[in-house]
Amino acid sequence: MSTLLVVGLGLLGLALLTVGADQAIIGASRLATLLRVAPVIVGVVVIGLGTSTPEFVVSGTAAVRDNAGLALGNLVGSNILNVTLVLGVVAVVSPVMVRSSVPVREAPLMAAAVAVFGAFALVGLKFVAGLLLAVLSVGALVLLVRLSRVQDGDPLPDDVAAFVSAQRQRRWWVEAARTVVGLAATLGGAQLLVTNAVTLAHRWGVSDEVIGFTLVAFGTSLPELMTSVQAQRRGEGDLLVGNLLGSNIFNSLIGGAVVGLAAGRSTIAPFGFAVVTAMVAAGVLAWLLLWRGSRITRPEACVLLAAYACVLPLLISANP
């Protein structure tokens, strides 16, 4: 198979992954709304989980195919991308204002989840670690629901309602079908992306880890970027930040659990200290910026972009 065809199939997989995840997010969010799930739960849990679906699927697929470096590299790279490049790009265009208390309360949980995942990545993920991360995932979901309680006048419920609104009333089975088809496209896209990304890595003499950190991580973070751009265009900074923070929580705990459980009896090789430290530092930086002023200004966005620019050479040259 020619390199051009491999690239084309990889891009096709990326397109399926992005469009499928986007439709799955919209369908699941509208379905939850039709089932009278609280808007804040939809914003914090459903949309956050939806935008993280590509990471779960790609990393799980890679782990099953014994591409452990790509599996963990994708999660680590996505965690860094979300709170540096994605948040920075959106905030440079227009400062992100957080008026709801939910994202601010969510930020330390995000930092803790990334740190726990980082600790397991340092020593190597095993089946037992996957089980433990799965248990922590359930605990995090419960805690997120409790943290999502809002006071009267909190803007987050209205932000979510505006994001999931349709021009005309949809029936539940239509949104359920949209969700299922979107997930199927995500699964198919993940298979194409992983297979052809690994092929390219081997042909170009690049490690699976580097491909996972960069190209695959960027591809699986596109749903977060698309959701963030849509939210920022509507002035929904609370939904934007909550989505990115929630995505990192789910990437770290559920994504880590998927990789650990998929590893079975084998152990996913540990990652280098510098790479894991960069991931944890990016999460802590985003937390501190939000804690400081509940907003991301243009100068702070430039700091986030500079942080990603500094980390990228480290990721490319890293030897996990």
pLDDT tens digit string along 114-146? 999 999 988 888 889 999 999 999 999 888 888
Instruction: Give the largest CA-CA distance in the chain.
Output: 60
pLDDT of 152 > 70? The answer is no
What number is the average pLDDT over the span 67-96? 90
What number is the average pLDDT over the span 33-57? 78
pLDDT of residue 269: 65
What number is the average pLDDT over the span 4-32? 84
pLDDT digits (tens, 9 = 90+) for 173-201: 888 888 889 888 888 888 788 788 878 87
Whole-number Å distance between alpha carbons of 60 and 262: 6
Give me the chain's average pLDDT, please.
83
* C-alpha closest to that of 75 among 266, 318, 254, 241: 254
What number is the average pLDDT over the span 199-217? 81
pLDDT digits (tens, 9 = 90+) for 272-317: 788 899 999 999 999 998 888 778 999 999 999 999 998 888 777 7
Residue 159: pLDDT band with limits 50, 70, 90: confident
Q: Pairing mode, if any, of strands 96-97 and 295-296?
A: antiparallel
**CA distance to 82, 120, 121, 172, 301, per residue, from 253 (Å):** 15, 10, 12, 30, 26
Is 0.75 surpassed by the pTM of this model?
yes
pLDDT digits (tens, 9 = 90+) for 239-262: 888 888 988 999 999 999 998 888
Residue 168: pLDDT band with limits 50, 70, 90: low
pLDDT of residue 115: 96
Whole-number Å distance between alpha carbons of 260 and 128: 8
Residue 206: pLDDT band with limits 50, 70, 90: confident
Residue 318: pLDDT band with limits 50, 70, 90: low
